[in-house]
Amino acid sequence: MTGGARILVTGGAGYVGSHAVWALHDRGDEVVVYDSLRQGHRQALPPAVQLVRGELADEAALDRLLSNGPWDGVLHFAALSLVGESMQRPFHYLLENAGLGIRLIDACVRHGVKRFILSSTAALFGNPETMPITETTRIDPGSPYGESKLMIEQTLRWADRIHGLRYACLRYFNAAGADPDGRSGEDHHPETHLIPLVIDAALGLRPEIRVFGSDYPTPDGTCIRDYVHVADLAQAHLAAFDRLDQGSVTYNLGSGTGHSVLEVIRSVERVSGRPVPVRMEQRRPGDPAVLVADSARIRADTGWTPRFTELDDIVGTALRWRQAHPQGFGPNDPAA
């Protein structure tokens, strides 16, 4: 498909979801967003896109929406996503993410939806023994958050096998950056992602950045992660959606390049021209030294190629958005 599809996006007012909505809107698809606005923001969406405010737990509301078809597909972003919190509230995460995700898949099958894109995660791989991480790397979730996403992936396999629901499981690594045109950006409460935290420290919006561990087996002793620009992730969703003509797929999404915590800090300092106050602390339990994706499969299947390949360019888009929105999006319109 190259535009003109009718697509429902759950959690579409969130960080990655809103960038995917903009990408769909830009190519001419009709998009409806279903979002509780607990973490999402109406202001992150194109003004012309319809927002239906609701919870995935509201079966009646979801049925009413899906009955207003036909739908060419569903993109599912709505989820709890804090790994640390999932270790403290495991059953809450399993019920919210896996339970409600499975319920959504069931509703899609009942209403004749034929394509489903899952926002999955690299947290499925826990502490992998080899790098880079491919789609065939051993699955070993290190948290209830990762387990909850795996349960949805497994459900989708059965939904395809029994009901013909074609799916794409997109396992992304560290989403970063902001819309190059400044239309959406990162505004989490609380914020846990490294790049926006470092930017806030550079801008004086927080006192310092805490670096957890400086004795890892990496060149500078700090953890290495794969940062992929959120606009590139959005384009990957479109590419995967179109690829479903040929059957269900599972893809790892990353840049293929790792950057350490200290490299991210230095990048923010270069791009912003400001120093970043740093406090070194002990390692956090469970943090792998290196996580880098091998995205060769989606590149070969769809031709998808990240546009933002330099860390400074990724940081630059995030910095410009934060400078333009020092308070984030602000409060949501209660009538949205």
Catalytic annotation, residues? 145
Comparing C-alpha atoms, which of 177, 184, 171 is closest to residue 136?
171
In degrees to the nearest 10, what's the CA dihedral of 59, 65, 70, 75? -80
What tokens appear for 41 in the block?
């923001």
Could you tell me the CA-to-CA distances from 61 to 53, 65, 210, 265, 266 in Å, in that order? 10, 6, 43, 44, 47
Based on its alpha-carbon atoms, the radius of gyration of the chain, rounded to whole angstroms, reads 19
In degrees to the nearest 10, what's the CA dihedral of 169, 171, 176, 178? -10
- For residue 238, give the amino acid letter: L
**Distance between CA atoms of residues 58 and 171, nearest Å:** 27
